[in-house]
Structure 1
């Protein structure tokens, strides 16, 4: 079981297909970065996804299940193909020989902005929560060092917590420092999700 299997239980039932579609697009780009042995080829593959996502706003999707799910579940919720394509910039930074991890965190901002749009709950602090999630996620995937960041003291409103619970797990990873990382979906991580659901803090 993965952390996301636990997190998925907190997503509103009616929005689970939309969140599944959102994270499937993000995972597609993650898989490219993780499997690319040549940066130039990885960049070409990422660019294919970026361009295909942009075209969703003006035409029918190609016979690619994740793109079709994006049309069926995300575009109807106001998340555009252009919004989804913007994830590519963050992932592309990790293909560079001297990867700029800080610049790559923009992917987390944009991912969380789309999640907040699905939840119809904009919040000024959600961008920083997304950056925190991306930092820990990159490290767990072995794509960038964990590094350090300033703690987020905001308390998130209940409607946003199905999204920001991912940042609560990231904050737990930051406190523990990785090397090695705590296994996913442990009872302790499940308890952290419940605590965030009840109280909304990340610390």
Structure 2
């Protein structure tokens, strides 16, 4: 099952670069959405009892929906969404599918293809929301990129080698689709995340890219300049 925490801005050297690719006025929205994903990842990582995990995720589903009618509680991730995402016309209710995606890891003792697909579609909805928040172009493949990104990151944090291999196999065509597109300027932060995930597919198990790896820096710079 899911074992390690996802990288955050404090541990992932690439995240500040990705955030810099977002439109300045919308950068806070992307940061807030990624913070929500970090928070849910940490919840899954620290939950050993499925029933307790479902209760905690139910609280998040309800809390996200309540953002549309109430002030946020004293939870930094929710306050960040209320401050930076909701004013852009993205409802709290529309973010609930992200929670449903993470819930798959608690509901399913084994991750078959159907469960992996549900996880990718649910968690990958983060990119759909971020694309709307950043006014990305309609042609930007945000859904495919989000699903591929979610599955690759999951694969790198799974204990079961077979499940991890299936997640990578499912992610590959999605990320190929994302890499083949020419992303709009407003969507290039999400395209950069997709390119990083695609490069992660080629890393051996347990290996993490070195900070400032030249080929990664060069690939992201080319994407920033051209959208490819």
Using the size of structure 2 for normalisation, the TM-score is 0.80
Distance 2:206 2:157 in 1: 12
How far 1:177 moved relative to its partner? 4.6
Distance 1:42 1:51 in 2: 14
Distance 1:86 1:58 in 2: 19
2:29 to 18, 21, 27: 18
2:60 to 38, 41, 49: 49
Q: How does 1:40-79 map to 2 (within 5 A)?
A: 40-79=51-90
How far 1:68 moved relative to its partner? 1.6
Does 4-13 or 130-139 show the bigger shift?
4-13
Q: Secondary structure at the match of 2:21?
A: coil
Q: Does 1:156 align with 2:189?
A: no
Kindly report the root-mean-square deviation, in angstroms, between the aligned alpha carbons of the 2 structures. Answer: 1.9
Runs (5+) with no aligned partner, structure 2: 1-10
2:205 to 176, 179, 184: 179
Using the size of structure 1 for normalisation, the TM-score is 0.89
Assess, with a 3 A threshold, how the Cα gap between structure 1 residues 74 and 24 changes in structure 2: closer, same or farther: same
Give the aligned partner of residue 128 of structure 2. Answer: 113
Q: Secondary structure at the match of 1:79?
A: coil
2:50 to 10, 16, 39: 39
Aligned length: 200
1:97 to 106, 109, 125: 109
Contact 2:22–2:134 (Cα < 8 Å) also in 1: no
